Amino acid sequence: MSAPTPENTQSPGQRKIIHLDCDCFFAAVEMLEHPEWRDIPLAVGGASERRGVISTCNYPARAYGIHSAMPSAKALQLCPHLKLVSGNMARYREVAEQIFAIYRRFTDLIEPVSIDEAYLDVSNTRLLDGSATRIAQAIREQVRDETGITVSAGVAQNKFLAKVASDWNKPDGLCVITPDQQAEFVASLEVKKIPGVGPRTQEKLMGLGVGTCSELQSLSLLELQNHFGKFGERLWQLARGEDSREVRTHRERKSISVEHTYSQDLPGLAQCMEQLDPLMDDLARRFERHRASRQILGLVVKVKFNDFTQTTAECRSDQPHKGLFASLMEEAWHRGARPVRLLGVGYRLGAKEGEAEAEQLPLF
CATH assignment at residue 69: 3.40.1170.60
The average pLDDT across 339-352 equals 87
Q: Is the pLDDT of residue 252 over 70?
A: no
Looking at the fold, whether 208 and 175 belong to one and the same domain comes out as: no
CA 190 to CA 171: how far, in whole Å?
20
Determine the straight-line distance between the first and last CA of the chain, rounded to whole angstroms. Answer: 43
CA distances from 179 to 162, 163, 183, 190, 230 (A): 12, 15, 8, 19, 28
As a whole-number percent, the residues of the chain with pLDDT over 90 amount to 65
Residue 245 forms part of a structural domain: no
Per residue in 287-322, pLDDT (tens digit) is 887 777 788 888 999 999 988 888 998 888 888 888
Looking at the fold, whether 76 and 137 belong to one and the same domain comes out as: no
Does the annotation flag 180 for ligand binding? Answer: no
CA angle 352, 354, 356 (to 5 degrees): 75
User: Of 170, 229, 221, 167, which is closest to residue 195 (Cα–Cα)?
Assistant: 167
Looking at the fold, whether 262 and 338 belong to one and the same domain comes out as: yes
* Range scoring the smallest mean pLDDT among 138-142, 270-274, 355-359: 355-359
Name the band, by pLDDT with cuts 50, 70 and 90, for residue 3. very low
3-state secondary structure of 83: strand
CA angle 351, 353, 355 (to 5 degrees): 60
Looking at the fold, whether 261 and 333 belong to one and the same domain comes out as: yes
User: Of 180, 350, 188, which is closest to residue 254 (Cα–Cα)?
Assistant: 350
Q: Strands across the sheet with 17-22, in order?
A: 110-114, 117-121, 17-22, 151-156, 174-176
CA 323 to CA 314: how far, in whole Å?
13
Residue 356 forms part of a structural domain: no
Residue 7 forms part of a structural domain: no
Looking up residue 206, the CATH number of its domain turns out to be 1.10.150.20
Beta bridge partners of 266: 340
pLDDT at 286: 87
Looking at the fold, whether 211 and 101 belong to one and the same domain comes out as: no
Residue 206 forms part of a structural domain: yes
Q: Is the pLDDT of residue 48 over 90?
A: no
Looking at the fold, whether 106 and 19 belong to one and the same domain comes out as: yes
Phi, psi at 174, each rounded to 5°: -135, 125
Looking at the fold, whether 76 and 199 belong to one and the same domain comes out as: no
- How many domains does the structure of the chain reveal? 4
Looking at the fold, whether 18 and 122 belong to one and the same domain comes out as: yes
Looking at the fold, whether 18 and 167 belong to one and the same domain comes out as: yes
Separate counts of helices (H) and strands (E) for the chain = 14, 12
Does the annotation flag 277 for ligand binding? Answer: no
Look at 317 and 191; give whichever has higher pLDDT: 191
Residue 357 forms part of a structural domain: no
The average pLDDT across 106-117 equals 92
Q: What residues act catalytically?
A: 117
Looking at the fold, whether 125 and 18 belong to one and the same domain comes out as: yes
Output the furthest CA–CA distance in the chain (Å, rounded): 66
Looking at the fold, whether 269 and 188 belong to one and the same domain comes out as: no
The boundaries of the domain holding residue 51 are 25-88
Name the band, by pLDDT with cuts 50, 70 and 90, for residue 251. low
Looking at the fold, whether 169 and 211 belong to one and the same domain comes out as: no
Helices within the chain (DSSP H only): 25-33, 59-62, 72-78, 89-103, 132-147, 159-166, 182-187, 199-207, 213-216, 221-228, 230-238, 269-274, 276-287, 322-334
Phi, psi at 225, each rounded to 5°: -65, -35
Per residue in 71-98, pLDDT (tens digit) is 898 999 999 999 999 888 899 999 999 9
Q: Is the pLDDT of residue 44 over 90?
A: yes
CA 139 to CA 119: how far, in whole Å?
13
DSSP character string of 23-77: TTHHHHHHHHH-GGGTTS-EEEE--GGGT-BEEEE-HHHHTTT--TT-BHHHHHH
Residue 243 forms part of a structural domain: no
Q: Is the pLDDT of residue 192 over 80?
A: yes
CA distances from 307 to 151, 189, 203, 342 (A): 35, 31, 19, 11
The average pLDDT across 244-257 equals 82
Looking up residue 115, the CATH number of its domain turns out to be 3.30.70.270
The average pLDDT across 136-148 equals 97
Classify residue 161 by its DSSP letter: H
Residue 158 forms part of a structural domain: yes
User: Of 146, 129, 166, 238, which is closest to residue 18 (Cα–Cα)?
Assistant: 166
Per residue in 198-230, pLDDT (tens digit) is 888 889 999 999 999 999 999 999 999 999 888
Q: Compute the Cα dihedral for 207, 208, 209, 212 and give only its sign.
A: negative
Q: Parallel, antiparallel, or unpaired for β 83-85 and 42-45?
A: parallel
CA 340 to CA 179: how far, in whole Å?
48
